[in-house]
Amino acid sequence: MPPPVPFNRPHVTGDELRFIAQAVENLQLSANGEFTRLCQSWLEERLGAARVFLTHSCTAALEMAALLAGIGPGDEVIMPSFTFVSTANAVVLRGGVPVFVDIRPDTLNLDETLIEAAITPRTRAICPVHYAGVAADLDVIGAIAGRHHLLLIEDAAQGLFASWKGRPLGTFGALGAVSFHETKNVTSGEGGALIVNDPALVERAETIWEKGTDRAQFRRGEVDRYVWQEAGSSFAPSEITAAFLWAQLRQGETITAQRLAQWSRYHAAFEALEQSGLVRRPEVPRECEHNGHLYRLLLASAKAREETLAELGRAGIHAVFHYVPLHDSPAGLRYGRASGNLRVTEDAAARLIRLPLHASLTEAEQARVIEAVYSACRQPEACR
Ligand SMILES: *Cc1c(COP(=O)(O)O)cnc(C)c1O
């Protein structure tokens, strides 16, 4: 049997070690050196954001966002249940309550028509997740946030280089968070960034990022010593991480183009399978330019999903499921609240598979994946 096709293979551009060596020569390895500033200004320019702060993860960026939003005990934040735990943890760590709203069956993003029913006098923010680098409906969600004076925080962990009506994801909310985890398009192993779009939040963001001090102002010579100003933490990555990330960001467009090509190949290949009713392919709204972050299919039933994953495994294809919904998880039940029923979330989470997709996936490997999915679906007990 040919070697297995891994679900993910971290992409390395070849420039990482050179930039890390440069960071070592700079003799500044802690945060906020040359490479941190290079990455931040590049992102600010590319995204058109007021400020960007590198963080050691998107989880950290979401925690910074919750601090900046002033989420406190009992404050509610509306979000999908179909997301990674970090979206909810950031709120819970401040004593807040994640309020879970169902998703749309086509994009698996927050169902914008259900948001207003979830708003109470305790609601402080809406946190849409752009699943698979496909945008949630930012027109409608932005308008709801505006009408109800709620902060919009985008979990754009998967959304770098994707856009809605030509504007980058992560720049619609007052705050946006992106991830550079190994599985994301552009990576530093672990890493992330907080995008601050509301200029009124920049100064406090800088303080919180600097462990709650005005150290950044001190460095710029604006104050003669730095002191503890408010609750903050250690959010910034080291220069070694930033140097690695700099190599990746510079090739971000190329990496994204490769992933989009693979995404499109899967999408074309599975059209016939969708027409025979065995799978449902993802849909991308026409306002959105996505970034090929992941390719997923919905199978006909939970049982079909299990059989298909097992069949793919036997063919040496590492396909995986995705989020286990948060609303009925032990912590979700303890800390959160579901708004209405979450039928689409439960249904999609039980039927979804993600296929191998990464910049170094070869056409031959991809052809094997496609062949194996068709073959699994031809088994009478599998795709039904
Ligand atoms: C990856 C991811 C995160 C967490 O990112 P880390 O950088 O691993 O902390 C949060 N939310 C979503 C939707 C993600 O996909």
Please state the domain extents for the chain. 16-250, 252-377
Asked whether the predicted pLDDT for residue 384 surpasses 70, the reply is no
Asked whether the predicted pLDDT for residue 128 surpasses 90, the reply is yes
pLDDT band, residue 205 (cuts 50/70/90): very high
155 CB contacts (<8 Å, ≥6 apart)?
Answer: 58, 62, 79, 83, 86, 87, 127, 128, 129, 130, 177
Count the Cβ atoms, other than its own, within 10 Å of residue 16.
Answer: 18
Whether 308 lines ligand 1, by a CB cut-off of 6 Å, is no
- Predicted local distance difference test score (pLDDT) of residue 379: 72
Encode pLDDT of 305-355 as tens digits. Answer: 999 999 999 999 999 999 999 999 999 999 999 999 999 999 999 999 999
Round to whole Å and give the CA distance between 59 and 33: 22
Pull the structure tokens for residue 178.
């992106």
Residue 165 phi, psi dihedral angles, 5° rounding: 50, 40
Round to whole Å and give the CA distance between 146 and 140: 10
Pocket probe mutation, ligand 1, options 58, 64, 185, 291, max atoms within 8 Å of Cβ: 58
- Predicted local distance difference test score (pLDDT) of residue 380: 59
Ligand 1 centroid–CA 225 distance in Å is 36
Round to whole Å and give the CA distance between 176 and 68: 12
Q: Which atom in ligand 1 lies closest to the alpha carbon of residue 129?
A: 13
Do 359 and 308 touch, CB atoms closer than 8 A? Answer: no
Whether 155 lines ligand 1, by a CB cut-off of 6 Å, is yes
Encode pLDDT of 238-284 as tens digits. Answer: 999 999 999 999 999 999 999 999 999 999 999 999 999 999 999 99
One CATH from 3.90.1150.10, 3.10.450.40, 1.10.287.70, 2.40.50.140 for 252-377: 3.90.1150.10
Strands (E), the chain: 51-55, 76-80, 97-101, 123-126, 151-155, 163-164, 167-168, 175-179, 192-196, 279-280, 288-289, 295-299, 337-338, 352-355
Asked whether the predicted pLDDT for residue 73 surpasses 70, the reply is yes
Round to whole Å and give the CA distance between 92 and 77: 10
Q: Look over the chain and give the mean of its residue pLDDT values, rounded to a whole number.
A: 96
- Predicted local distance difference test score (pLDDT) of residue 360: 87
Q: Which atom in ligand 1 lies closest to the alpha carbon of residue 57?
A: 7
Encode pLDDT of 100-125 as tens digits. Answer: 999 999 999 999 999 999 999 999 99
Whether 192 lines ligand 1, by a CB cut-off of 6 Å, is yes
323 CB contacts (<8 Å, ≥6 apart)?
Answer: 82, 83, 84, 349
Whether 129 lines ligand 1, by a CB cut-off of 6 Å, is yes
Q: What is the CATH topology of the domain spanning 16-250? A: Aspartate Aminotransferase; domain 2 (3.40.640)
Whether 43 lines ligand 1, by a CB cut-off of 6 Å, is no
Encode pLDDT of 26-67 as tens digits. Answer: 998 999 999 999 999 999 999 999 999 999 999 999 999 999
pLDDT band, residue 378 (cuts 50/70/90): confident
Q: Which residue CA neighbors atom 14 of ligand 1 most closely?
A: 157
- Predicted local distance difference test score (pLDDT) of residue 359: 85
Encode pLDDT of 132-165 as tens digits. Answer: 999 999 999 999 999 999 999 999 999 999 999 9
pLDDT band, residue 75 (cuts 50/70/90): very high
Whether 179 lines ligand 1, by a CB cut-off of 6 Å, is yes
Round to whole Å and give the CA distance between 278 and 351: 11
Q: Which residue CA neighbors atom 6 of ligand 1 most closely?
A: 58
